[in-house]
Amino acid sequence: MNALGKSVKRVYVLLFARRIFYPANLFLYKLSLFGLGLRNYENDTVSGEKAFIKFLKALGKFDSGAILDIGANIGNYSVMLRKNGVTQPIFAFEPHPVAFNKLSEVAMAYNFTAVPEGAGETHSMAAIYDYQGDSGSEHASMYKGVIEHLHKGKAEEVAIALTTIDEFVAKHDISKIALLKIDTEGHELSVLKGARQTIASGMAEVIQLEFNEMNIISRTFFKDIVDVLPGYDFYRMLPDGLKALGPYNSTNYEIFSFQNIVALKQLHN
């Protein structure tokens, strides 16, 4: 912080860091989150995903390679790609059997491949948790606390199968990933750990993932994600494009509220 910034802070603290102004300060803080690219989930335009896809198309990132949509649920993201003119092969992963049935129908209509597995650090059987009696919701998570503590619902356990990205890529002879998108309700770090070889090879130049309050439940810091992605620069999505986050700083990174994060492979790596 420069001298001017320090002076402004000192004046603000002296005048407004008082209990009487706490509600107003909290209101301004919540508004500022929207401006920083957080809690903007209403649609593809507000979230910044539409601008992001346009940006990748302009860079030619969709000229070759496959797209992996990890945590596809019923396929909204993959459909969004198709509606925005992306023609590359898409593999949409969804382990929940009820959601997968819906995903399969959508995949046939929009010409992409539905994969009846989740992705994780190892190939294994596991459990996913969803609302009791409301199977296939977009909140289904590997962590029971996401349903019961965060969303205040009653959880039911569903058996699922997990693969790893490394294994899937090798099995399907994929040599380039145009986009690796991960939305797994707090399970993102495990997905990335199961893609160590893929990441180390430079095969995935563009990675999109969510970071939010689910990561409190999974005990995942943003620093954990930074550490597993050496050689990447990190950006936060805004409605009109990407904003570079710069070198890791806990104040700028460790915000446990909905946000779309993009990791781009550094050119010199």
pLDDT tens digits, 120-142: 999 999 999 999 986 789 999 99
Please tell me the number of Cα atoms within 13 Å of 27 on its side-chain side: 5
pTM (2 d.p.) = 0.92
pLDDT of residue 157: 93
Three-state secondary-structure class, residue 120: coil
pLDDT tens digits, 204-259: 999 999 999 999 999 999 999 999 999 999 999 999 999 999 999 999 999 999 99
Three-state secondary-structure class, residue 255: coil
CA distances (Å), origin 232, targets 169, 228, 257: 20, 10, 22
